[in-house]
Chain A
Amino acid sequence: MIDHLPALQVVLPLLAAPLLLFMVRWPTLAWAFTTAVAWATFFVAALLLEQVWGGAVISYAHGGWEPPFGIEYRVDTVNAFVLLIIAGISAIVMPFARDSVEQEVDSNRIAWFYSAFLLANAGLLGIAITGDAFNIFVFFEISAIASYALIAMGRDRRALLSSFNYLIMGTIGTTFLLIGIGFMYMMTGTLNLADLAERLPEVRDTTTIRAAFAFIAVGVSLKLALFPLHLWLPNAYTYAPSMVTVFLSATATKVAIYVLLRFFYSVFGAEFSFGELPMDHVLMPLALLGILLPSIVAIFQDDVKRMLAYSSVAQVGYIILGISFATTLGLTASMLHLFNHAITKAALFMALGAIVYQIGGTQLTRMAGIARDMPWTMAAFVIGGLSLIGVPLTAGFITKWYLLLAALDSGYWPIAVFLLATSLLAVIYIWRVVEVAYFRERPADAPVVSEAPLALLLPTWTLALASILFGIYTALPVGAASRAATILMGGY
Chain B
Amino acid sequence: MTEPGALVSGGWLHPSLLLILGALLIPLLRDRMQQGYRILLSLAFLWAVWQTVPGIHAAFGFLGLDLVPGRADKLSLVFAYVFALITVIGTIYSLHVKDNVQHVTAYIYAAAAVGVVFAGDLVTLYVFWELMMLASVWLIWRRRTPESYAAGFRYLLVHAVSGVLLLAGIVLYYTQTGSIAFNQMDITGPAFYLILVGFMINAAVPPLHAWLTDAYPEATITGAIFLSAFTTKTAVYVLLRGFPGTELLVWLGAIMALWGVVYAVLANDIRRLLAYHIISQVGYMVAGVGMGTAIALNGTASHAFTHILYKAVLFMGAGAVIHMTGKSKLTELGGIYRYMPMTFLLYMIGAFSISAFPLFSGFVSKTMVVEAAAVDYRAWIWLMLTMASAGTFLHTGLKLPYFTFMGKDSGLRPKEAPWNMLLAMGIAAFFCVFIGVYPNWLYNFLPSPVDYNAYTVGHVLWELQLLLFTGLGFFLLLKYVGGDAKISLDTDWIYRRALPRIVGWVRRVGGAAWTGVVRTLQRSLEGAVVTLMRHHGPQGILARTWPTGSMVLWVAVILAGSLLLYYL
Interface residues of A (CB under 8 A from B): 161, 164-165, 168-169, 172, 176, 207, 210-211, 213-215, 217-218, 221-222, 228-229, 231-232, 234-235, 277-278, 282, 293-294, 296-297, 299-302, 310, 391-393, 398, 401-402, 404-405, 408-409, 416-417, 420-421, 424, 427, 439, 472-475, 478-479, 482
Q: B548 to A165, Cβ gap below 8 A?
A: yes
> Is A168 in contact with B548, judged by CB distance below 8 angstroms?
yes
B2 near A478: Cβ-Cβ < 8 Å? yes
A405→B174 CA distance, assembly (Å): 9
Q: Look across to chain A and name the residue whose beta carbon is closest to the beta carbon of B141.
A: A439
Contact B555 A218 (CB under 8 A): yes
Contact A229/B555 with A297-B542, A417-B168, A474-B63 known, Cβ cut-off 8 Å: yes
The winner among B160, B559, B563 for most chain A CB atoms within 10 A is B559
- Which residue of chain B has its CB nearest to the CB of A401? B63
* Contact across chains for A297 and B555 when beta carbons are under 8 A apart: no
B130 contacts A300, C-beta separation under 8 Å: no
Q: For the complex, is B545 an interface residue (Cβ under 8 Å from A)? A: yes
Q: Is the interface of A mostly helix, strand, loop or mixed?
A: helix
Measured in the bound complex, the distance between the Cα atoms of B551 and A294 in whole Å is 16
B171 pairs with A408, CB closer than 8 A:
yes
Chain B contact residues, CB within 8 Å of chain A = 1-4, 62-63, 123, 126-127, 130, 149, 160, 164, 167-168, 171-172, 175, 532-533, 536-538, 540, 542-543, 545-546, 548, 550-552, 554-555, 558-559, 562-563, 565-567
Can you pick out 27 interface pairs between chain A and chain B where the beta carbons lie within 8 Å of each other? A161-B545, A165-B551, A168-B552, A172-B552, A211-B563, A218-B555, A218-B558, A221-B558, A222-B555, A232-B551, A277-B565, A282-B565, A296-B532, A299-B536, A300-B538, A300-B540, A300-B543, A301-B538, A393-B127, A408-B172, A409-B175, A420-B167, A421-B164, A472-B4, A475-B2, A479-B2, A482-B1
Q: Which residues of A contact B545 (CB under 8 A)?
A: 161, 235
CA distance A213 to B566 in the complex (A): 9
Cross-chain contact of A297 among B126, B536, B548, B552 (Cβ < 8 A): B536
Most buried by A among B126, B127, B532, B563: B563
Whether B554 pairs with A297 at a CB distance below 8 angstroms is: no
Chain B residue with minimal CB distance to A172? B555
- Expressed in whole angstroms, the Cα–Cα distance for A210 and B562 within the complex equals 10
* A297-B536, A478-B1 known, 18 other contacts, Cβ within 8 Å: A168-B551, A211-B566, A214-B559, A218-B562, A228-B558, A231-B546, A296-B536, A300-B536, A300-B538, A393-B127, A398-B63, A409-B175, A416-B168, A424-B160, A472-B4, A473-B4, A475-B4, A478-B2
Docked CA distance A301–B527 (Å): 19
Contact of B2 with A474 in the complex, beta carbons under 8 Å: yes
B175→A302 contact, CB < 8 A: no
Given A217-B562, A475-B2, do A231 and B554 touch, yes or no (CB 8 Å)? yes
Knowing A300-B538, A300-B543, A424-B160, say if A210 contacts B551 (CB, 8 Å): no
Q: How far is the CA of A297 from the CA of B537 in the complex (A)?
A: 6
Complex: how many Å from CA A391 to CA B171? 15
CA A393 to CA B552, docked complex, whole Å: 41
Judging by beta carbons under 8 Å apart, are B1 and A214 in contact?
A: no
Given contact pairs A214-B563, A229-B554, A475-B3, A404 touches B63 in the complex (Cβ within 8 A): no
If A169-B551, A210-B567 touch, whether A293 touches B562 (CB-CB below 8 Å) is no
Q: Does A228 contact B548, Cβ atoms closer than 8 Å?
A: no
Q: In the bound complex, what is the Cα–Cα distance between A324 and B316 (angstroms)?
A: 57
Q: State A392–B69 Cα separation when bound (angstroms).
A: 14
Nearest-Cβ distance from residue B66 to partner chain A, whole angstroms? 15
Q: How far is the CA of A278 from the CA of B567 in the complex (A)?
A: 11
A391 to B160, CA, bound (A): 11
